[in-house]
Each structure stands twice: as C-alpha cells, then as structure tokens.
C-alpha cells in the first residue's frame, strides 16, 4: 500500500508497505530496520519478537527517542514484559503495533516534530 506524505522535507517518512517490505522516502527495504526522522539503521539484528531483548534496542536507546514504535509484521505480537518495563523505566514511550499501523503512526508523529523511532520487523525468523 502506498502512503501519502505530508511531512516536512528532509525527514524520513514511510511511503509504502506490503508483504515483506516497507518503503521509506520511496526506497524499498526488505530486511528489519530502525527508522528515525533523520537516520535509518538498516539490517537491524533482531530476529523475532520472541527473541527481542534490550540489546537489540541499545543503539536506539542511546539516541533517546521520545517514543519507540515496534512494528511486528502483519500480526500484532508483544515482546517480553521485562523489555517493555526496561524501556518505559527510561522515560521512553513504547508502543507495539502491526507494521501497517506503525508506518502510519510514525509518519503522523514525525510530521508533528516528535522525536519518534520505528523499529520494524520485516523478516521474522521463528515467529
């Protein structure tokens, strides 16, 4: 599905998504990734929601986003409660959504000037 962009110029915005991919600024990505308004981290090493640990989010946590949106693919799946508690204890919001909702929510928050990050699980091994 293609998304209509209405954000600020120069920001990373999701421009589409579908089975096995997301598009950011019209560029298609087929592996797990982290998207911030001013940076993209490709080939994110998380392999599944079930195996997701704080070590997978460490590169993101040092950037101190206001909120992290976790896109879990086409099916909503929640990580371990201990991971969620760890992130929330650092004063960072944490929302888990399917990838479609994550893309749309990220675009809205980013266009509002919020320091948001989207952690996208596209290829989930063992999910």
The per-residue pLDDT for range 4-53, each reduced to its tens digit, is 555 556 799 999 999 899 999 999 999 999 999 999 999 999 989 999 99
Q: Find residue 120's DSSP bridge partners.
A: 33, 71
Does residue 70 form part of some domain? yes
Looking at residue 59, its pLDDT comes to: 84
Residue carrying structure tokens 């949106």: 69
At 8 the pLDDT is 58
Q: How many domains does the chain have?
A: 1
8 is a domain residue: no
pLDDT in tens, 58-117: 888 889 999 999 999 989 999 999 999 999 999 999 999 999 999 999 999 999 999 999
Look at residue 75 and tell me if it is in a domain.
yes
pTM: 0.89
Tokens of 38: 């001013």
Domain-located, residue 42? yes
Beta strand spans in the chain (E): 14-18, 21-24, 27-29, 33-36, 39-41, 67-71, 93-97, 116-120
Q: Let me know: does 49 contact 78? Beta carbons within 8 Å.
A: yes
> Within a domain: residue 126?
no
The answer to whether residues 119 and 70 touch, using CB atoms and an 8 Å cutoff, is yes
Q: How far apart are CA 90 and CA 77, in angstroms?
A: 22
pLDDT of residue 38: 93
At residue 124, the pLDDT reads 52
CA gap 59, 77 in Å, rounded: 22
Which residue segment(s) compose the domain that 39 sits in?
14-120
CATH number at residue 66: 3.40.1230.10
Does 9 fall in a domain?
no
Residue 127 pLDDT more than 60?
A: no
Q: Considering the domain boundaries, does residue 89 fall inside one?
A: yes
55 or 5, which is more confident: 55
pLDDT at 6: 52
Model confidence pLDDT, tens digit, residues 103-120: 999 999 999 999 999 999
Domain membership flag for residue 96: yes
């Amino acid at each position: 599905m293609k998304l209509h962009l209405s954000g600020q110029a120069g920001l990373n915005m999701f421009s589409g998504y579908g089975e096995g991919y997301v598009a950011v600024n019209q560029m298609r990505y087929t592996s797990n990734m982290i998207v911030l308004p001013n940076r993209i981290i490709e080939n994110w090493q998380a392999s599944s929601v079930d195996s997701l640990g704080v070590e997978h989010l460490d590169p993101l946590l040092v950037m101190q986003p206001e909120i992290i949106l976790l896109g879990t693919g086409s099916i909503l799946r929640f990580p371990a409660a201990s991971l969620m508690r760890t992130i929330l204890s650092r004063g960072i919001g944490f929302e888990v959504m399917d990838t479609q909702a994550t893309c749309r929510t990220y675009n809205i928050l980013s266009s509002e000037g919020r320091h948001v990050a989207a952690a996208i699980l596209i290829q989930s091994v063992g999910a």
